[in-house]
Amino acid sequence: MPDKNNYFVFADESGTLLSERFFGIGVLMIDRPYKLYDSILSCALEIRELSRKQREKTIIEYQNKNNLTALSKLSINNDKFELKYTKINSQNNSIYKKIISKYFNFFGAKFSAIIIDRDDPHFKPYNIFTSTWDMYSSFFSTLILGNLKNLVKPQLCILPDYLNISKKYNESFEETILNKIKRKLSPELYYNSIFNICRLESHSNLLIQLVDILLGCVLYDFKLSESLITANKRKDPVVNELRKNLKRQTLSGNYTMNSPSYFSVWRVKFK
């Protein structure tokens, strides 16, 4: 048996705009990411091909209408392809649904999310945090610490989605996260638990994209429960697949499911 249980930790966030009621961070911890990656890669390629065909169709439509302005905007759009919850539509939702199904074949995968309700009457960020970045980094480190408690001799390599921070901060993104974790752990536990951290562009990593999808589904139900949105026929098949696998009527609330694979959601209650 190895001395250490090594995990890659892929992370993404949603709801960073102050106008959004719910802010969430999701992490996926997995010891053999390549197996899950290979499993969902075919789905990603299928969705990419659908996206390419739709783009070609749109170009032809603009050409036929001699819509040069729209063609020009399309030509300078340099967005990289990636799987995203917001890109689920009626043409590709059956494939996204398949991704959810494949995910639950990997019992070693551990997903957890922390959700903050900005409308919580006891949530007073300016009394707690100096900035949005301070809030994000604090909750991110808290989520990592919460996962460490449930692991035996872990060693983590943390790989969050790229998030740009102001140059006014002296510490880098990575230094800030590591220092906040370090302050809450004994030196021995810290150096034995965290291997390193490095941001990645989400379009370059399929498992960060998977976190985006899972977190998006969770936040969908939080918004639905508060009547912030109405049911979305394009998204529902994917969200329903996640509910079905977890045997839950809703993905909102506070809960931890250990089967078919670990899935935990924590809605922070402020006092």
pLDDT in tens, 80-126: 899 999 999 999 999 999 999 999 998 889 999 999 999 999 998 87
Does position 190 have pLDDT exceeding 90, yes or no? no
pLDDT of residue 164: 79
CATH code of the domain in which 190 resides: 3.30.420.10
Contact (Cβ atoms closer than 8 angstroms) between residue 102 and residue 242 = no
Answer whether residue 205 is part of any domain. yes
The whole-number pLDDT of residue 3 equals 59
At 1, the pLDDT band (50, 70, 90 cuts) reads very low
* Domain assignment of residue 253, yes or no: yes
- The answer to whether 47 touches 92, Cβ cutoff 8 Å, is yes
Taking the C-alpha atoms of residue 166 and residue 35, their distance in angstroms, rounded to an integer, is: 36
Query: Given pLDDT bands bounded at 50, 70 and 90, which one contains residue 6?
Result: very high
Mean pLDDT of 32-48: 96
pLDDT per residue as tens digits for the range 214-238:
999 999 999 999 999 999 999 999 9
Residue 89 belongs to a domain: no
Report helix, strand or coil for 148.
Answer: helix
- 181, pLDDT greater than 70: yes
Tokens of 184: 């809450």
Q: Is residue 52 part of a domain?
A: no
Instruction: Give domain status of residue 196, yes or no.
Output: yes
Q: Cα 187 to the chain's mean position, in Å? A: 29
pLDDT tens-place string over residues 60-73 = 888 888 888 887 87
pTM of the model: 0.92
| Two structure tokens written together for 116 | 């903050």
Query: Residue 213 domain-assigned?
Result: yes
Say if 182 falls within a structural domain. Answer: yes
Residue 237 lies in a domain: yes
Count of domains for the chain:
1
Q: Give the domain range for residue 122.
A: 5-40+98-267
Angle at 20 (CA atoms; ends 24, 166), nearest 5 degrees: 75
